[in-house]
Chain A
Amino acid sequence: MKNQATKLSKKRGISNNNLTDYIMLAPFLVLFFVFTVLPILVSIVLSFFNFDMVSMPSFIGLDNFARMFLSDDVFFTTVKNTLVFSVIAGPIGFCLAFMLAWFVNEFSPMVRTLLSFMFYAPSLVGNAYFIWQVLFSGDSYGYLNSLLLSMGFITDPIQWLKNEEYIMPILIIVQLWQSMGISFLANISGLQNVNNELYEAGSIDGIRNRWQELLYITLPAMQHMLLFSAVMQIQSSFSVSAIAIQLVGFPSVGYAGDTIVSHLTDVGTVRYELGYASAIALVLFAMMLLTRMIIGKIISMLNN
């Protein structure tokens, strides 16, 4: 009976009906195609056109890209902001998510559950960043202002969210506050599942302290999880716009808090220059894919 079963399954695949395979896959496939693949294809095509949703699209070659790189100052500011933001908030968030997971992992299950909740809570509550608007409020009622005023550090309230110097650091702080998300939980899970025999073997092989243990055993064992974590960080830091728009407004003072996504949303859904917005989106996709490839390379290099 058992022999027959394996034979049968080998012949027909694990599932016994190809048609139902496709039926079960279809809903996801259709939605994924329409709302993710198609938008990317549309962006690629439209980036060579001038299109405002009303008149017929007209082919303009590389004009959109030329405009982007030669005459759109706001584009450059937003690219710079996005890069500064991603280069600072991305890696710090990535490291924090790993470090905290590593720390939390040492506690007993009860404490670990509590600590996980504490660190995950800001990310869990989604758009609760209004809180920061009150903390950084520009009048003397703002929590930070009143604290600094009463301690005598400043004499006048500072317009935190309206000052080019402070906007980016504040956005980074708020992003970091929310960065213990999916990757943090994945790291905890990954750390708990590192095979203990590896640690035993390591101590026989002459590993002498926790740092060596981390470097030679834990990190290599976590390689795939770290890549997942990095992908999540790239996704959230390159696409940041909601936090910025909520906290510092759009456009922000001196464009200091505007990101590529807020710029392309503005160009696309407010000014209806869809061809140009598509070209900007393509550049953003390319930046994200490139970062993903570089990080993938770095992580696999570190482990060899």
Chain B
Amino acid sequence: MENAINSQKKTLRQKIRSLKKPSKKMNVKRFTRSRSGTVIYFTFIALAGLFSMLPLIYSVVTSLKPLDELLIFPPKFFVRRPTLENYVALPGLLSNLKVPLSRYIFNSLFVSIVATGLYVFISAMAAYILSKSKIKGKNVLFAIVQIALLFNAYVLSVPRYLIFSKLNIIDTYWVEILPHLASTLGVFLMKQYIDGYVPDSLLEAAHIDGAGNFRTFFGIVIPVIKPVFLTVILFAFRDIWASIPDGTIFTENLKTLPMIMTQITAGGIARSGSAMAVTVIMMIPPILVYLVSQSNVVESMSSAGIKG
């Protein structure tokens, strides 16, 4: 039986792959553009690309500028003598805060990794149940989940504040982690994906084999939904990494990197090198997560549509 499931899993993966492959290369039957159309098309892409990338490139370049180049007038876009001194100076800039920079970095990583990890499993389990179980009320629940996609942490901040204080979690790690777990995007994306790519027959085979819900979930569902799993990790990590818990964290020891950004960036032009250095450091983790997950992201989003 175990073998039967494995072979079924294998054929399923092949099926998914074969479904994907041709659609990528089958752009055969398309119309060609007029020449002016081509010019507009490439100009548009080039302009949009510049608009997207220039500020980011600028921040990397500026973070490498020595002080005298930061103060040149008029400012030059490129750096002539790149240096890492802005990065080296960072810990020193925070010395008046009594908490070392490494603590903020640790907090950021700790909160982001723990919250993302919990979020993706909690969402996947709920999505699996919402997609495959026959429990009552699941369609109503999923409808509510879809509506809740509209509301994010900013809109809910005030009533949430009240709940945080009733739960007594203000100024603890909990308030930096728990609210993120309530976002419905993960459940939504995963439920749609499971609907589309996890056939009932696969689960039935597992159940006959005597596998319980949890074993089926971890052994069969998770491997099949890996693309959307990684996608949800990316979106969650991105959000949590950048989030600033407004007015709920006061202890310096618990603050994350984004919360001290303003303290560094408020230093004016002389500090702009270091401010850019923090910005660049802040960019690295989400970009790394994206690079790891990117091949799965586009593949997994095709089922994200909302009906009705």
Contacts and interface: CB of A to CB of B under 8 A. Distances in A.
Given A5-B204, A14-B203, A125-B286, A131 B59 contact: yes
B109 interface: no
B39 interface: no
Given A9-B207, A28-B123, A125-B286, A193 B135 contact: no
B250 interface: no
18 contacts: A6-B204, A22-B135, A25-B133, A27-B126, A29-B141, A36-B148, A46-B159, A127-B242, A128-B283, A130-B261, A134-B272, A137-B269, A188-B298, A190-B305, A228-B305, A239-B154, A242-B154, A268-B158
B182 A235 contact: no
Interface in A18-47: 18, 20-22, 24-25, 27-29, 31-32, 34-40, 42-43, 46
Contact of B154 (A127, A228, A241): A241
B44 interface: yes
A289 B52 contact: no
B290 interface: yes
Contact of B73 (A103, A146, A185): A146
Chain B: interface residue count, which band?
35 or more
Interface hub of A21, A36, A149, A189 (most chain B Cβ within 10 A): A36
B5 interface: no
A67 to B, nearest CB: 16
Interface of A: 1, 5-6, 8-9, 13-18, 20-22, 24-25, 27-29, 31-32, 34-40, 42-43, 46, 53, 96, 99-100, 103-104, 106, 109, 113, 115-122, 124-128, 130-135, 137, 139-141, 143, 146-147, 149-150, 177, 180, 182, 185-186, 188-190, 192-193, 196, 199-200, 203, 208-210, 213, 222-225, 227-228, 231-232, 234-236, 238-242, 246, 261, 264-265, 267-270, 274, 277-278, 281, 284-285, 288-289, 292, 296, 300
Contact of B299 (A143, A189, A209, A278): A189
Nearest to B155: A239
Nearest to B298: A189
Contacts of B44: 99, 103
Contacts of A103: 41, 44-45
Contact of B294 (A5, A117, A281): A117
Contacts of A236: 152
Interface of B: 23-24, 26-31, 33, 37, 41, 44-45, 48-49, 51-53, 55-56, 58-59, 62, 71, 73-75, 122-123, 125-126, 128-130, 132-135, 141, 144-145, 147-152, 154-163, 165, 167, 178-179, 181-182, 184-185, 187, 200, 203-205, 207-208, 212-214, 216-217, 235, 238-239, 241-242, 244, 246-247, 258, 261-262, 265, 269, 272, 275-276, 279, 282-283, 286-287, 290, 294-295, 297-302, 304-308
Contacts of A139: 269
Given A225-B304, A235-B151, 12 more contacts: A9-B200, A32-B184, A37-B148, A100-B48, A119-B49, A119-B52, A134-B276, A137-B269, A140-B74, A177-B52, A228-B306, A236-B152
Contacts, number: 331
A208 B155 CA distance: 46
B217 A32 contact: no
B23 A193 contact: yes
Secondary structure type dominating chain B contacts: helix
Contacts of A208: 31
Contact of A16 (B29, B123, B179, B207): B207
B51 A36 contact: no
B73 A127 contact: no
Interface hub of B29, B135, B239, B304 (most chain A Cβ within 10 A): B304
A196 B159 contact: no
Nearest to A24: B125
B276 A131 contact: yes
Contacts of A232: 149
A32 B182 contact: yes
A155 B194 CA distance: 61
Contacts of A223: 305
Nearest to B305: A224
A38 B282 contact: no
Contacts of B307: 224, 227
Contact of A24 (B27, B28, B129): B129
A149 B159 CA distance: 47
A14 B204 contact: yes
A255 B132 CA distance: 50
A24 B129 CA distance: 7
Contacts of B37: 210
Nearest to B300: A189
A274 B122 contact: no
B158 to A, nearest CB: 3
A269 B181 contact: no
B134 A269 contact: no
Contacts of A16: 207, 212-213
A130 B187 CA distance: 32
A190 B302 contact: yes
A106 B37 CA distance: 14
